[in-house]
Structure 1
Amino acid sequence: MSDVSVRPVRPDELARVGEITVAAYRASGLLHGDSDYEHQLRDTARRAELAELLAAVDGDDVVLGSVTVARYGSWFAQVAVPGELEFRMLAIDPQHRGRGVGELLTQAVCDRAGDLGCHRVVMCVDRSNAPALRLYERMGFRRLPERDWAPVPAVQLLALGREVTG
């Protein structure tokens, strides 16, 4: 992974980040047909306005994946409480999966939380997304079952959190 780094998404990359996010969710079986959520995944300009967007890029500065980082109280924070930083919409270009990009992005969020003085990183994952659950558990995230929720009846989200130090 020495050829991959994480940095803020640039304005000229917003459309590509939206495409990657939708492609990743489709490849994982998390999107079916057009949906309001697909529109939200593509609307990277809004995400960049209301949250932080980080990109994992290779040595040629090609975007491999991205993550949305939301502070407590911001529009994109769903389960965070004071002192926590939340991430959402972590997505890896399907052709670049298996390279450790998801772990690198997740660690960047944890590092950002420490920089901001947050004590925990939280997020939600679809209960059917076994690869993501394995990654987060391996990285020290633990279930927060009291924060599980369902944005729509067919989607059950599991809340996870990891303590960080500043």
Structure 2
Amino acid sequence: MGEVEIRPPRAEEYAAAGEVTVQAYEADGHLADDVGYDAKLRDVARRAEAAEVLVAVDAARNVVGTVTIVRPGSEYAEISRPGELEFRMLAVAPSARGRGVGEALIKAVFDRARALGLRKVVLSSLDRMHSAHRLYERLGFTRLAERDWRPFPHISLIAYQIDL
């Protein structure tokens, strides 16, 4: 991986972080369901108010990845329970894939969980996000099938967990 810095985004980076997220989802065909999710992905400013957002910034100061960290019971939480940290909207710019950016962002989530004294990280993922699933499993995540769910009848989300 080239040098990337993982940190909270600056306000002037919100738009770029939102675009990276949309581009990553579009590149893999994950916005084809047309449920308006692209607007949520673009709205980094809103996420930064209600959750923790991290960006990966390369040496040229380009945002090349992002992730949203949420706590149980918060506005963006989907499956987390007390004692768990959840992450959502992990995205890596198509041009930066294969350089370890996604792994670096996930490891930053692990660091955040440990800093908060939490020992479990959970997430939901579209059932067809196979490359993301391979990354999660390589990092030690296991399936949490009892928390699989459907936000819409035609969209299936599968759950993962890791004990830190």
CA deviation vs aligned residue, 1:21-59 (integer Å, no higher than 9, x gap): 111101111002754211111111110100011001112
Please give the residue correspondences for 1:1-166 in structure 2 after superposition, counting only pairs within 5 Å: 1=1, 3-32=3-32, 35-164=35-164
Residues in 2 aligned to 1:87 and 1:53: alpha-carbon distance in whole angstroms: 10
Residues in 2 aligned to 1:20 and 1:116: alpha-carbon distance in whole angstroms: 28
Aligned-pair Cα RMSD in Å: 1.2
Number of matched pairs: 164
CA deviation vs aligned residue, 1:120-151 (integer Å, no higher than 9, x gap): 00001111111000000000001110000011
- For normalisation by structure 1, the TM-score amounts to 0.95
Q: Secondary structure at the match of 1:86?
A: strand
Gaps of 5+ in 2: none
Residues in 1 aligned to 2:15 and 2:55: alpha-carbon distance in whole angstroms: 13
Q: Secondary structure at the match of 1:156?
A: strand
Displacement after TM superposition at 1:64 (Å) = 0.6
CA deviation vs aligned residue, 1:64-115 (integer Å, no higher than 9, x gap): 1000000111101100000000000001111111111001101100110000
- For normalisation by structure 2, the TM-score amounts to 0.96
Residues in 2 aligned to 1:68 and 1:16: alpha-carbon distance in whole angstroms: 15
Residues in 2 aligned to 1:61 and 1:44: alpha-carbon distance in whole angstroms: 18
Q: Secondary structure at the match of 1:81?
A: coil
Change over 3 Å in CA distance of 1:155–1:82 after alignment to 2: same
Residues in 1 aligned to 2:89 and 2:157: alpha-carbon distance in whole angstroms: 13
Asked whether the 8 Å contact 2:144–2:161 carries over to 1, the reply is yes
Q: For residue 161 of structure 2, what is the amino acid of its counterpart? A: G
Sequence identity (%)? 52
Displacement after TM superposition at 1:2 (Å) = 5.2
